[in-house]
Structure 1
């Protein structure tokens, strides 16, 4: 049976104040509403629940850029709140009073909530939109001894903890992909946790440093996060995780083509604080939809290799519910929870 998993699956006081305070976007000044009257946000705050340099950070800053450059909102400041696969940021979002707030989220957060036993769950927030879907890429340093994916996986199976793989947060898409590849190589759910030596990172910049510094054997992340280093000849791509090859990395095989029956893509979207009014949710959906419909957003998707996976409303609610079920099952199957 084909094992295919597709996922459509300490902080500074000033930052804390910025996140928990009620800013000018909400309240009674005509720029927002806490009631059921029509909402109109002229500014939004964007929270990236990760350190700079990774896919969430790229997503959040791209959203801010398009929103402001296309005059959809006046300002869209970005705040990074890294740690624990986004669950630290999610916990802070639970205390945010300003409804004109968007937090980047996605498959990584779904998995991290389970692996970290987070008390605040995705169900406690307000889904606004699913935006993108992206293949992951398995890379090694340019001078690595691994010439293809099989040589890497064989070494992990044979030597276990001696072979270190890095990527994003524990329980996130990168970690799940590593486990799925070992499952496809024949390891059972009890063997995978003791065989896989996975080093998680709160941001893409940390993973890049480990790979380029030769501190790890391999790395996994979104194509957009590693693409420039692959093109510069500093990393070598072994395989991508989608159904087909990606245009940004011509000639790089899929994991399935490399001999392992695994497909995994990483979705990203935005959520808002829980308990906001229907009017506030509708206004945030309007803002994000207007952004999605711009030529500038479409250009950013093409440049970064992100697939358009736009979804809002009841269909998004259903997707999130099903994705939580699917990811939890996958984590159990590969022994990560």
Structure 2
């Protein structure tokens, strides 16, 4: 018998008491599954992979379960979406949402799309940055654009159906240049190609660049944030450099349709507690992740609004009909 069928008024009352207990830091919230699989389309070392693996170090303090990260690559996220959309809606499997799963759904005909999943909770807003190798020829975004005007150049981005790819395309249009955009299944592969000089720049998130950034091997040239990143105040925005492009990536979770309301409520409370955890706060602030909690009641509307505006943009550029 499913968790949805067995839940009762008494169980809801116990869950409410458990919420208060967990908020006070006593015990993790009881959960209907012993193991929860968090699926990402990202390759190991990519943005979503890093986000999930770091979060799972702390999540067990707030939900009484063991968390496993599963990388399902291929089809610009299509395989990962199908994996989750066809899984049992019992709270045992979730997908790491980013704009990629909207772009993939709109730009191709995947077996399962964002419409076949149920948004659960948003956790962070993530900054997209432009980076290059420190010992390379480019010391500013202006240098990169000037090179692109003369010799086209090569820019790196994540898979074709990604916010990074759209950021690159919008920057191309705003700057009036035509570099080759080389796409990758994961941020780790792209960073290697920036480091070896195959690519002039890469577009990605700070958490997937952290080790090379700390080692001084790569340099941030600009951010697509609407304003400068507080933790990186010396990095200019693309917009202030004269190119009217501003984008921010969301990071959350979605599950198969029909996840029980009681389970969704557990995640709402647990993520709130998680974001307040002082140890986790240090970790996510170091990765320049900005808390953006959108609960299960509001996250579906957020995703639908993003999908609608994205579809309008893609139609305006001729990317889709």
Asked if Structure 1 and Structure 2 have the same fold, meaning a TM-score greater than 0.5 normalized by the shorter chain, the answer is yes
TM-score, normalising length: structure 1: 0.80
Q: Indicate whether 1:148 and 2:125 are aligned.
A: no
Taking structure 2 as the reference length, the TM-score comes to 0.84
> Of 160, 163, 173, which aligns to 2:163?
173
Equivalent of 2:196 in 213, 221, 233: 213
* Alpha-carbon displacement from aligned partner over 1:3-43 (angstroms, at most 9, x marks no partner): xxxxxxxxxxxxxxxxxxxxxxxx56xxxx14372583353
Matches within 5 A, 1:65-80: 65-68=57-60, 70=61, 72-80=63-71
Please state how far the C-alpha of 1:236 moved relative to its aligned partner.
2.1
Question: Which runs of no fewer than 5 residues in structure 2 stay unpaired?
Answer: 12-30
Deviation at 1:71, TM superposition (A): 5.0
Partner residue of 1:21? none
CA distance in 1, matches of 2:42, 2:158: 10
Q: Report the Cα distance in structure 1 between the residues aligned to 2:77 and 2:273, rounded to whole angstroms.
A: 26
Hey, what's the Cα distance between the residues in 2 that align with 1:86 and 1:310?
23
Q: Secondary structure at the match of 1:252?
A: coil
TM-superposed deviation, 1:106:
1.3
Q: Is the 8 A contact 2:126 2:249 kept in 1?
A: yes
User: What is the alpha-carbon root mean square deviation over aligned residues?
Assistant: 2.2
1:139 to 117, 126, 131: 131
What is the CA-CA distance between 1:235 and the residue it aligns to? 1.4
1:313, 1:71 → 2: CA distance? 17
Number of corresponding residues: 297
Contact 2:130 2:220 in 1 (8 A): yes
Q: Does residue 200 of the first structure (1) align with residue 192 of the second (2)?
A: no
8 A contact 2:121–2:267 mirrored in 1:
no
Who is 1:259 aligned against? 242
- Secondary structure (helix, strand or coil) at the match of 1:76 reads strand
Measured after TM superposition, the shift of residue 264 of structure 1 is 0.9
Residue 262 of structure 1: how far off its partner (Å): 1.4
Select the residue among 98, 113, 116 that pairs with 1:106: 98
Deviation of 1:46 after TM superposition, in Å, equals 1.4
Counterpart-to-counterpart distance in 2, 1:254 and 1:197: 22
Q: Assess if the C-alpha contact under 8 Å between 2:157 and 2:168 holds in 1.
A: no
Q: 2:245 is paired with a residue of what secondary structure? A: coil
Match of 2:56 among 49, 64, 86: 64
SS in 2 for 1:77: strand
1:240 to 223, 228, 235: 223
Change (3 A) 1:107 1:132: same
Aligned with 1:93 (options 74, 81, 84) = 84
Matched, 1:183 2:173: yes
Alpha-carbon spacing, 1:126–1:296, altered in 2? closer, same or farther (3 Å): farther
Answer whether contact 1:180 1:262 (CA < 8 A) is retained.
Answer: yes
User: 2:283 aligned with 1:300, yes or no?
Assistant: yes
Q: How many angstroms does 1:186 deviate by?
A: 4.0
